[in-house]
Structure 1
Amino acid sequence: MIELVEGARHKTQGRTITEADIVAFAGLSGDFTPIHVDASFAATTPHGERVAHGPLVLSTAVGMATHLGIFGDRVIGLVNLNWDFHGGVRIGDTIHGEVEITEVRRSSKPGRGVATYTFTVINQRGDTVQTGRLVVVVRMD
C-alpha cells in the first residue's frame, strides 16, 4: 500500500472503455439514456456516436486508482465527492487517471484521518475529460 504523502502524484494504467462496459453500467444503474445506448439517436448528437455514462468513467478512474494501492483497507468511508465532466468518452477511448494526494490530516477521532485526492482523467488524445476531488476517512497509524 502506498504511503499517504501530501503532494504525491500517481498515474494509473490505461483502460479502454468498451460497448460492454456501457451496456453493463446501463443495466446496473438503470440509466438507459439514449446518448449511451441508442446508436441511431447518438449519431444525431454533437458527439456523433454513443458516449459512456459520466459516472461510469468516474467509477473506472477510482477503480484504476485503487489498483495503485492508494486506498486499500485504510479507507473507512466516503466524506465528499466533487466531480466535473469536460468531454465525452466514446467507445474505444482509452482513459487513464492522474491522482494527487492533496491533503492528509488527523481527525478528532483517535486513529483516524481525512485524505483528499484530486483526480484528472485523460483520454488517449491527451484531452482532460473529467476532474474531481475525493475526500475519504482513513485509518491512521
Structure 2
Amino acid sequence: MAKERETYDLPADFEFTARSQGRTITEGDFSAMTNLTWTTAEYHTNKPLMLESDMGERNLAGACVIAFALGLATPAVRPRLTGMGVRLVALAGYDEVRFTSPLRPNDTIYVETRVRDIVKTSRPNLGVINFEDSVVDHDGRTLCTYVRSAFCDVSESVLCADR
C-alpha cells in the first residue's frame, strides 16, 4: 500500500488559474519539431496522404505537444509563484497524460494551469508542486491534459513561516 504523501496547507492565494499567452504553431514550428524528434510516421509527415484521409491533416506527435505546452505554461505561473515566495527549481515529471484532440499546423494553443497541491519532501525547504494543465486551442478544444510536477524552493514562502 502506498504511503499517503503529506501536503502543505495552501493559503487562498495559491488557488489560482493562469492562462498562458497564445502561440500559433506554424508550418515551420511543426516541421522543426517533427524533424527534431525523428517522428517519422506518415500521420505527422505526409501532408498529401493525410489531406485525403479521415484525419484531414497531419497531427503533431504528443511528445511535441507536451514540449510546446511546457514552454508556454511555466512563464504563465512563475511570476505569481515567485511573488508568493515559491521558486521553481526543476521539472520532476508528468502524470495522467491524455491526448483528446489533435494539434495541427496553424493551430493556436494556450495552456491553462491550476496549482493542485504542494507535497512536502524530506528537505524542509523543498517541495514538489503539482500543476493541472490543459492545452486548449483557439476554438476552445481541449487537446491535452496532464499533471506536471516540479521541485520548488518554498523557503521564502508563507509555507515555511512556522519552521
TM class by shorter chain equals 0.7 to 0.9
Confirm whether residue 106 of structure 1 aligns to residue 120 of structure 2. Answer: yes
Cα distance between partner residues in 2 of 1:77 and 1:17: 23
**Structure 1 vs Structure 2 CA RMSD:** 1.9
Choose which of 34, 40, 44 in structure 1 pairs with 2:42: 34
Structure 1 residues 133 and 79, CA gap change in structure 2 (3 angstroms):
same
Work out the CA distance in 2 between the residues paired with 1:119 and 1:69: 11
Q: Structure 1 counterpart of 2:138, which letter?
A: Q
TM-superposed CA distance for 1:9, in Å, is 0.8
1:44 equivalent in structure 2: 52
**Alignment gaps of 5+ in structure 2:** 1-12, 156-163
Which of 133, 138, 141 is matched with 1:127 structurally? 141
Secondary structure class of the residue paired with 1:20: helix
SS in 2 for 1:27: helix
Per-residue deviation at 1:63?
0.6
Secondary structure of 1:31 counterpart: coil
Give, in whole Å, the separation in 2 of the partners of 1:97 and 1:25: 18
- 1:91 corresponding residue in structure 2: 105
> Aligned residues: percent identity?
26
Question: Take 2:130 and 2:52, find their aligned partners in 1: how far apart are those partners?
Answer: 39
Deviation of 1:69 (Å) = 4.4
Residue identity matched to 1:76: A
Q: CA separation in 2, counterparts of 1:128 and 1:79?
A: 21
Match runs of 1:50-69 below 5 Å: 50-69=58-77
TM-score by length of 1: 0.86
From the superposition, tell whether residues 119 and 32 of structure 1 become closer, same or farther in structure 2 (CA, over 3 Å). Answer: same
Normalising to structure 2: TM-score of the pair?
Answer: 0.76
Paired letter, 1:15: R
Structure number, greater radius of gyration = 2
Q: Is the 8 A contact 2:136 2:142 kept in 1?
A: yes
User: Within 1, Cα distance between the matches of 2:50 and 2:95?
Assistant: 29
Q: How many residues align?
A: 137
1:120/1:131 contact within 8 Å kept: yes
